[in-house]
Chain A
Amino acid sequence: AQKITQTQPGMFVQEKEAVTLDCTYDTSDPSYGLFWYKQPSSGEMIFLIYQGSYDQQNATEGRYSLNFQKARKSANLVISASQLGDSAMYFCAMREGQGGSEKLVFGKGTKLTVNP
């Protein structure tokens, strides 16, 4: 079974509008972390935001926020006020266990295109 599911292969948004990228996850571990990375066409993975499973509040980093719904096992990324430079692939990832495995498990990604 897939641990991270990103159901939107591609998304389009108008510049200056907000967009939500979906991510659902599957784990039985009570301790885990959820991540979003941006991958522009240059190929480098850029860390955007992190949410720990025990964090009470949704994580925010500038224009990025993570809509964490634990019971639904979803960790959607919200980008506010989209910019042309936001066009890229976006990957959701999970790390299970605290102090255990360090590996990140990634979804297949969503390609975001911001239109002028």
Chain B
Amino acid sequence: DTGVSQNPRHKITKRGQNVTFRCDPISEHNRLYWYRQTLGQGPEFLTYFQNEAQLEKSRLLSDRFSAERPKGSFSTLEIQRTEQGDSAMYLCASSDLGRSYEQYFGPGTRLTVT
């Protein structure tokens, strides 16, 4: 197992630009989660997938945010028209259906919107 990987690790963008992050879960993990963590806070749930189906979305996920997992493997999180308030660490996690209580996290993508 190579663990959950996320790319890029850091992203600096100007306000109003679109950004896309990628998450590769642990192979054969069928559940994939996205969280956002701001400074001094714990992670906040954004959305999760079981295979390619997006089963739950947080109210935090405004219409500027979209997540996909087209083939049930890697996932992308896109933020359109970024705002300074979007600056945060975006964390991806995956879990196995049989042990869904154990979510394995990736290293995160740190987004800075200037």
Given the known interface contacts A102-B33, A103-B48, the answer about A47 and B103 at a Cβ–Cβ threshold of 8 Å is yes
B2 in the interface (beta carbon within 8 A): no
Contact A106 B48 (CB under 8 A): no
Contact A91 B101 (CB under 8 A): no
Given the known interface contacts A45-B93, A50-B102, A102-B56, the answer about A91 and B107 at a Cβ–Cβ threshold of 8 Å is no
A4: chain B residues within 8 A (beta carbon): 42
How far is it, in angstroms, between the C-alpha of A108 and the C-alpha of B78 when the chains are bound?
A: 26
Contact A47 B42 (CB under 8 A): no
Contact B44 A102 (CB under 8 A): no
Which B78-107 residues have a C-beta within 8 angstroms of A? Answer: 89, 91, 93, 100-107
Given the known interface contacts A102-B48, A103-B45, the answer about A35 and B56 at a Cβ–Cβ threshold of 8 Å is no
A91: chain B residues within 8 A (beta carbon): 42-43
Q: What number of A residues sit within 8 Å (CB to CB) of B?
A: 24
| B102 nearest in chain A by CB position | A47
Contact of A43 among B101, B103, B108 (CB under 8 A): B108
Contact B42 A44 (CB under 8 A): no
Given the known interface contacts A106-B42, A108-B40, the answer about A44 and B101 at a Cβ–Cβ threshold of 8 Å is no
A95: chain B residues within 8 A (beta carbon): 101
B77 to nearest A CB, angstroms?
Answer: 15
A50: chain B residues within 8 A (beta carbon): 101-102
How far is it, in angstroms, between the C-alpha of A44 and the C-alpha of B92 when the chains are bound?
A: 10
B30 to nearest A CB, angstroms?
Answer: 12
Contact of B56 among A33, A52, A103 (CB under 8 A): A103
The 10 closest A-B pairs by CB, nearest first: A106-B42, A103-B45, A45-B105, A44-B107, A91-B42, A43-B108, A106-B43, A102-B48, A50-B101, A33-B101
Binding site for B on A (CB under 8 A): 4, 33, 35, 37, 42-47, 50, 52, 91, 93, 95, 101-109
Q: A44-B106, A103-B56 are in contact. List 16 more A-B contacts (CB 8 A).
A: A33-B101, A37-B105, A43-B89, A43-B107, A44-B108, A45-B91, A46-B105, A50-B102, A52-B101, A95-B101, A101-B56, A102-B33, A102-B55, A103-B45, A104-B35, A106-B42
